[in-house]
């Protein structure tokens, strides 16, 4: 299995090597997951607004709110693709 060297452990060195190779992949996966969860949160918020408008004011208000949410979502997606630059 693992052999212990005098003055240290081979396991520590293997862990450092493995982590240094895997860290960029973990960072990329975390960034992608964060972006995906952020989009889901925005879609969920839009859904809540649409359902609230329908309950309070009816179908026409719900459709107007849905259109507005789609416009806002399109703006957010366009800004994120440009990196937030103007």
**pLDDT at res. 47:** 93
**pLDDT at res. 45:** 92
The verdict on pTM exceeding 0.75 is: no
β-strand partners of 8: 5
State the sign of the Cα–Cα–Cα–Cα dihedral 76, 78, 84, 85.
negative
Residue by residue, pLDDT tens for the chain (86 residues) are: 556 556 556 777 777 788 788 888 888 888 888 778 878 888 999 999 999 999 999 999 999 999 999 999 988 888 877 765 65
**pLDDT at res. 9:** 64
SS3 72: helix
SS3 84: coil
**pLDDT at res. 4:** 58
């Amino acid at each position: 299995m693992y052999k212990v060297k005098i003055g240290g452990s081979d396991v520590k060195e293997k862990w450092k090597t493995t982590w240094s190779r895997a860290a960029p992949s973990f960072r990329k996966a975390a960034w992608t997951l964060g972006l995906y969860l952020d989009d889901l949160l925005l879609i969920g918020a839009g859904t809540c607004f649409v359902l609230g408008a329908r309950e309070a004011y009816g179908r026409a208000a719900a459709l107007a709110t849905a259109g507005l949410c789609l416009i806002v979502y399109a703006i957010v997606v366009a800004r994120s693709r440009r990196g937030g630059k103007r």
